Amino acid sequence: MSVKLRSLAFRSGELLSYLAGFLLTGFFVVQLAQGEVQRQGGIAEFEQMAQNNAEQQNSAAAEASDSAENSQLNFDDTGEPDTSLWAAGRISDYQASLQAELPQVLGVLEVPSVGLNVPVYATNSELVMDRGAGIIDGMAYPHEPGNIGISGHRDGYFRVLKDVQVGDAILVQSLEGVKQFKIDATEVVAISDKTLLRDTDDQTVTLVTCYPFYFVGHAPKRFIVTASLDTTNVNQN
């Protein structure tokens, strides 16, 4: 083969490689965009539920119109999801879950200091945690008294919890309105330690994810964030 033909073959291969890379990048961007639509869809579903709840309260009793208006929640556009901290495998699981049907949305969890804003579902199955956060089985729901236990994947949405600080705010939105909690502590515990998941007399929030945040395989411990109701800045409904 002449030098000219070899050069032409090399250039053709190079161009095909660039084209393949461009197509793969485009596919990945489309998948992320679809994922964001699904995530915001969950939040929008809860917003519609809250609006319907307020309308039912208004029609049931005119004198309750003020409280019904307060229970109607408004959500800001959360923008595109930041997957820069996510593991590649978690992104793949997230993309694979986009066509699945999810359980009921109970509320929205927000930790403003680390940019976390996700829908909270009625259970904490693997599928749910690929798409948001879920209530730990047996723990309180956002509209109930007691310990609200919420779990998420440490290589997905909950990876940002590594940067939370004591005193940071946690917002939990339910059909009752918005309640603000203040982080009291963060702890690393053994996987078998359920002490911090016990029920509480006062309404509290416990966020749970695996630990270490960057670990190959099944992480051996749990990272726990505990928060108490901020009575200085809270919807008391």
DSSP string covering 23-72, please? HHHHHHHHHHHHHHHHHHHHHHHHHHHHHHHHHHHHHH-GGGHHHHHHH-
Average pLDDT over residues 11-35: 63
Handedness of CA 126, 131, 133, 139 (dihedral sign): negative
Does position 13 have pLDDT exceeding 90, yes or no?
Answer: no
Higher pLDDT, 112 or 10: 112
Tell me the C-alpha distance between 112 and 178, whole Å.
14
pLDDT band with cut points at 50, 70 and 90 for residue 164: very high
Overall average pLDDT of the 95-101 stretch: 71
Domain ranges, ordered by start, for the chain: 3-229
Residues 99-118 have a mean pLDDT of: 88
pLDDT at site 91: 76
CATH number of 3-229: 2.40.260.10
Tokens 């939105």: give the residue.
173
Q: What is the pLDDT of residues 134-163, one digit of tens each?
A: 999 999 999 889 999 999 999 899 999 999
What sign results for the dihedral spanned by CA atoms 28, 32, 38, 39? positive
Contact 132, 116 (CB under 8 A): no
Mean pLDDT of 42-63: 68
CB atoms within 10 A of CB 82: 11
Phi and psi (nearest 5°) for 86? -75, 150
Q: In this structure, what token pair is assigned to residue 88? A: 């590649």
